Structure 1
């Protein structure tokens, strides 16, 4: 029982540490804040191509998180990067990868595309 409690405490401590470390390099923005800045930035949809085709934020480029390592050359380090996915978990993963590769100015859309009420471009 004691080992279980120790393991739980360690698990929680690691989770809290990761959360605060992520907040140091990834800023989560409300839709209003996101709209103010994304036109001057690189707007990246990190969802899979079939999700992107169904509908995406106007002006976004599709670089799925699963392909991001191979496609870093497509993103500039000297311009802010605005990320979004369907709900927020994949954009957080993408941000972690970008941070490790030296990107500084990283933002994500709070609640992801499913909460987006702004302009979208939809496929078929």
Structure 2
């Protein structure tokens, strides 16, 4: 096993979430960027809006898998760390929207 863990691409994260019964895709980009185009079925929680109160209220089940996608500007790695700090062990980096190949909704 290598020292570097393979990171998911945004398309791999979307496929993983859509084939799981217990997964949610979180898009941590700013609301304006999300509204310009996003993956169908994602929940938009901008990086600066990830607070303990807001997250615990919206997602009380900490056992769900959360695939967190972002952009080069809105770093999903920071959102993953924030979710993990709140006790969501299954928060997973889900890639960057700039690398997405597929249909977006507005």
Same fold (TM over 0.5): yes
1:78 deviates by: 1.4
Question: Larger Rg: 1 or 2?
Answer: 1
TM-aligned CA distance change 1:88 to 1:107, over 3 Å? farther
The whole-number CA distance in structure 2 between the counterparts of 1:78 and 1:34 is 17
State the partner residue of 1:106.
Answer: 91
Higher relative contact order (CA 8 A, sep 6+): 2
The whole-number CA distance in structure 1 between the counterparts of 2:46 and 2:76 is 9
State the partner residue of 1:115.
Answer: 99
The whole-number CA distance in structure 2 between the counterparts of 1:98 and 1:107 is 9
State the partner residue of 2:42.
Answer: 60
State the partner residue of 1:7.
Answer: none
TM-aligned CA distance change 1:62 to 1:113, over 3 Å? same
TM-aligned CA distance change 1:30 to 1:58, over 3 Å? same
State the partner residue of 1:71.
Answer: 54
The whole-number CA distance in structure 2 between the counterparts of 1:48 and 1:91 is 12
Q: Which runs of 5+ in 1 are unaligned?
A: 1-19
RMSD: 2.1
- Native 8 Å contact 2:28 2:68 kept in 1: yes
Q: Which runs of 5+ in 2 are unaligned?
A: none
In the TM superposition, structure 1's runs of 4+ consecutive aligned residues that sit over 4 Å from their partners are none
- Which is helix-richer, 1 or 2? 1
Number of equivalent positions: 97
- TM-score normalized by the length of structure 1: 0.68
